[in-house]
Amino acid sequence: MAKLWGGRFAQESSNLLDNFNASIVFDKQLWEYDIKGSKIHAKMLLSIGVLEKSEYELIIKGLESISEQIQKGQFEFKIVDEDIHMSIESALIALIGESGKKLHTARSRNDQVALDFRMYVLDYNCKIRVKILDLIDTILFLAKKNTDTIMPGMTHLQHAQPINFGFHLVAWCASLKRDYQRFFDSFERNNFLPLGVGALAGTPYKNDRDMMAKELGFKAPTLNAMDTVSERDFALDMLYDISMLLMHISRIAEELVLWSSYEFKFIALSDAYSTGSSIMPQKKNPDVPELLRGKSGRAFGNLMGLLTVMKGLPLAYNKDTQEDKEGVFDSVKTTMISLDILKEVLLTMKIYPENMLKMAKIGHLTATDLADFLVRKKNLPFREAHRITGEVVAFAEKKGVDISELDEEEIFQITSLELVGIKKVLDTRASMNARDSLGGTSTGRTEEQINILEKWINEEKNGQAKTNH
Ligand code: ARG
């Protein structure tokens, strides 16, 4: 079949080439953006006198009918059409005839693909942001209910100091908030219209790019034609933002895996989000958090993939860039479902506060409180207080109890220091609440952090970037 670009060719392209060259199998999902872009382009051509009113109307009608066919699943995407741009253009020509052939005036597939793909990326940037906010909202809902739920805070996965569960959850939210902001920054940086720059050098027509930018919801047109058709850093921004988000999600997922094990038993995942073993009937596996943890790997791969494709490409457009889409589609799809399922897993899991508390009483978590008490009440240098506390810990170890279970008498025997009120200080909850510095774990400080995040979420929800893309 003759190609739209077939004029100079004497021979038809081989099937092998058609299959190798085509992007239609995956870029067909850009159809809506392609039609939107074509409609605005036609409007612009009308305004600069390239199209007659009647031609313009035919084109718009034709594009709308193609849009309908695609929506109804009646449109045939053909490999010979190569990509979404030529599929729609050739369908338009078949539908309306000669006027359809004028649509590609002052336009190249290079600026067309740059437009479609950028609209897709910006659109999903907004969709992902809505889901991140939703996830933070869910986590805060759990955090609010658990600001007095004592658990062991860890470093090196070893019991360190008592914290409350809500505080741990707020820590997750803090990183997710930065992820949200990273997406937002990328949106702002990339919200510029590529259309109208032609193949690489601009066009001899008076393309009204300002009008098209406005109509399509972009802040302004891009600056330089060459840069516009050859750059894919807006897609790399997306892949990086997703990688960072999924890296954070993988850490959350890892904690869910750990916490749902018999060794921790801090939570139980709902049956709806757990799986069984085909051989061991007793098993309930955390496949969902494991997959969430694993999905980050393929997202990092997609980022590395596109970075590698782009590396060393001369300006301007090169066909290598066609390799930009599948990784982005994959990462976006993965992110959308990951955010949905993580939210559900968190909402449906059961929490065991009694087990968390029990574990917070193992491992002398309040030893630092004893050292701090010695500093404050006995005016000892911290290093000295640390040494003495170490001796008390050794004593408790020998006795087979936690430091919080020792009384003043016993501590006096080891340290020869009268420490009135130390018993209360070594209490796990008191220790948690003693960490009342800004950003600390005390119930009050945790609530303060929750309030700040909630206020931020409400502001974001009210002014949330709505995209026209
Ligand atoms: N399918 C192509 C892509 O995804 C569209 C641009 C083709 N441009 C060209 N000059 N061959 O990159």
**Residue 14 in tokens:** 């081989």
**434 part of a folded domain:** no
Residues 292 and 182 in one domain: yes
**284 part of a folded domain:** yes
Q: Whose CA is nearest to atom 4 of ligand 1?
A: 322
Any idea what the CATH number is for the domain that residue 380 is in?
1.10.40.30
Which atom of ligand 1 lies at the shortest distance from residue 117's CA? Answer: 4
Residues 100 and 118 in one domain: no
User: Is 274 an active-site residue?
Assistant: no
**338 part of a folded domain:** yes
Residues 68 and 128 in one domain: no
Q: In this structure, are residues 289 and 254 in contact, taking their beta carbons and an 8 Å threshold?
A: yes
Residues 86 and 131 in one domain: no
Residues 316 and 391 in one domain: no
| Ligand 1 center to 93 CA (angstroms) | 20
Residues 340 and 382 in one domain: no
| Ligand 1 center to 457 CA (angstroms) | 40
Q: In this structure, are residues 187 and 125 in contact, taking their beta carbons and an 8 Å threshold?
A: yes
Q: Whose CA is nearest to atom 12 of ligand 1?
A: 322
Q: Whose CA is nearest to atom 3 of ligand 1?
A: 322
| Ligand 1 center to 420 CA (angstroms) | 78
Best mutation site among 319, 323, 326 for ligand 1 pocket (most ligand atoms within 8 Å of CB): 319
**Residue 210 in tokens:** 């300002």
**Given this model, what pLDDT does residue 271 score?**
82
Q: In this structure, are residues 165 and 153 in contact, taking their beta carbons and an 8 Å threshold?
A: no
Written as tens digits, the pLDDT of the chain (469 aa) is 677 877 888 788 788 998 999 999 999 999 999 999 999 999 999 999 999 999 999 999 999 999 999 999 999 999 999 999 999 999 999 999 999 999 999 999 999 999 999 999 999 999 999 999 999 999 999 999 999 999 999 999 999 999 999 999 999 999 999 999 999 999 999 999 999 999 999 999 999 999 999 999 999 999 999 999 999 999 999 999 999 999 999 999 999 999 999 999 999 999 887 777 777 777 778 899 999 999 999 999 999 999 999 999 999 999 999 999 999 999 999 999 999 999 999 999 999 999 999 999 999 999 999 999 999 999 999 999 999 999 999 999 999 999 999 989 999 999 988 888 999 999 999 999 999 999 999 999 999 999 999 999 999 998 764 555 6
Residues 114 and 30 in one domain: no
In tens, the pLDDT along 143-161 reads 999 999 999 999 999 999 9
| Ligand 1 center to 107 CA (angstroms) | 13
| Ligand 1 center to 32 CA (angstroms) | 17
**Given this model, what pLDDT does residue 464 score?**
64
**Given this model, what pLDDT does residue 468 score?**
52
Q: Whose CA is nearest to atom 2 of ligand 1?
A: 322
d(CA 170, CA 145): 12
Best mutation site among 28, 83, 230, 310 for ligand 1 pocket (most ligand atoms within 8 Å of CB): 83
Residues 46 and 159 in one domain: no
Any idea what the CATH number is for the domain that residue 67 is in?
1.10.275.10
Q: What is the pTM of this model?
A: 0.94
**433 part of a folded domain:** no
In the numeric block, the tokens 């990688």 are attached to: 243
Find the catalytic residue in 99, 270, 274, 277. Answer: 277
**Given this model, what pLDDT does residue 65 score?**
98
User: Is 469 an active-site residue?
Assistant: no
Residues at CB less than 6 angstroms from ligand 1: 23, 27, 83, 109-110, 113, 317, 319, 321-322
**Residue 326 in tokens:** 């599948």
Residues 100 and 246 in one domain: no
Domain that holds residue 232: 110-197+223-359
Nearest to 97 by CA among 141, 58, 71, 154: 58
**455 part of a folded domain:** no
**85 part of a folded domain:** yes
Residues 374 and 250 in one domain: no
Find the catalytic residue in 156, 278, 416, 437. Answer: 156
Any idea what the CATH number is for the domain that residue 142 is in?
1.20.200.10
Q: How many domains does the chain have?
A: 3
**Given this model, what pLDDT does residue 1 score?**
63
